[in-house]
Structure 1
Amino acid sequence: MSRKKDQAGTFELLARLPQQIVSLAKIEYENAKREVIAKAKNAGIGAGAIVIALFFLFFMLEALVIAAIAALALVWPWWLAALVVAAGLLLLAAAAILAGVALIKRGNPVPEETLDRVGGDIAAMSEVRVNADSSEPRAPQMPRVGEEGNWR
């Protein structure tokens, strides 16, 4: 039984296995790191939107204070203008809060795609069979004296 030169034998494949597993682990680590960075960036943008909303809320409170002062002084155009500004700032703050919360919810830092790929890799490694060329499973056989074995 002869083996083609481009096909590796069992021992050669087994010798490559640790290096391939380490290489796969490094690649998956880099993918997980990239995925976490992207999700953390989205969460940071969402947090920034909430900070902007708080900034608008601060000015809304300021406008309400000015409106209360103007209303007490019974100067109609001043307090009405202040209430309109406060309402506009409240709408801006609500929009920024909704956008920020949506971005933070979407920015889950768990690297789900990488975990799915690793799970697929583990499932693929668990399906390794001896003599995969045959259609029915057989017990592994040792090569006879003088024969080369291919344990794939």
Structure 2
Amino acid sequence: MIEEVKVDSQTGTAGSAPTGTPGPDRQASLGKLVEQISEQASRLVRAELALAKAELTEKAKKSGIGAGLLMTALLILAYAVGVLLLAAVYGLGTVWPLWLSALVIGGFMLLMTTVLALAGVQLLKKGTATPDSVQRVKDDITSIKEGMHR
């Protein structure tokens, strides 16, 4: 720890005081302290709002991807229905090989539709949750208001 040595002008003795320890002339006034608290609270709220914005952007991105996956699932479902209808037509008109192959392809398309739809729903659920930073900003504002009333 760095110490600064002070010499008393009346007695000539040396004393030491740690650097950074406020003497009577260095103590901050109450007005300065209130100003610092106000500035720090303002910075805290701005930082929390920036964090909330970043979280909302991330959630919007996930929601967009989820919606895209759902749309892809719907497109595949439309083709699957067409293939299954074709399989039914071939099944009625011919024997085993043609309609069975169409039925297998249609079943595979339905399986893919299910997987994509479940993935899209999961991403949409994650994207619609309230960000944690929104609650933290509300808590900060409440704390500041309570502190000002004391």
Q: What's the TM-score once normalised by structure 1's chain length?
A: 0.71
Separation in 1 of the partners of 2:111 and 2:43?
52
SS in 1 for 2:62: helix
Deviation at 1:119, TM superposition (A): 4.0
Deviation at 1:114, TM superposition (A): 1.1
Determine whether 1:46 maps to 2:66: yes
Deviation at 1:14, TM superposition (A): 2.0
SS in 1 for 2:130: coil
Which of the residues 23, 27, 32 maps onto 2:52?
Answer: 32
Determine whether 1:14 maps to 2:34: yes
Larger radius of gyration: 2
Alignment correspondent of 1:108: 128
Q: What's the TM-score once normalised by structure 2's chain length?
A: 0.72
Q: Is the 8 A contact 2:69 2:119 kept in 1?
A: yes
Which of the residues 71, 81, 85 maps onto 2:101?
Answer: 81
Alignment correspondent of 2:8: none
Deviation at 1:40, TM superposition (A): 1.0
Alignment correspondent of 1:95: 115
Q: Is the 8 A contact 1:36 1:109 kept in 2?
A: no
The verdict on how the C-alpha distance between 1:89 and 1:27 changes in structure 2, with shifts beyond 3 A counting, is: same
Determine whether 1:117 maps to 2:124: no
SS in 1 for 2:28: coil
> Any idea what the Cα deviations from partners look like across 1:54-108, whole Å, max 9, x if unmatched?
1210121121121122112213211000011111111110111111111111112
SS in 2 for 1:3: coil
State the number of aligned residues.
Answer: 127
Q: CA RMSD in A?
A: 2.4
Letter in 2 for 1:75: V
Name whichever structure is richer in helix by fraction. 2
- Structure 1, unpaired ranges of 5+: 131-152
Identity of aligned residues (%): 36
- Between 1 and 2, higher relative CO (CA 8 Å, sep ≥ 6) is seen in 1
The verdict on how the C-alpha distance between 1:122 and 1:26 changes in structure 2, with shifts beyond 3 A counting, is: closer
Separation in 2 of the partners of 1:4 and 1:38?
50
Q: Is the 8 A contact 1:40 1:109 kept in 2?
A: no
- Structure 2, unpaired ranges of 5+: 1-22
Name whichever structure is richer in strand by fraction. 2
Letter in 2 for 1:99: A
Q: Is the 8 A contact 2:45 2:140 kept in 1?
A: no
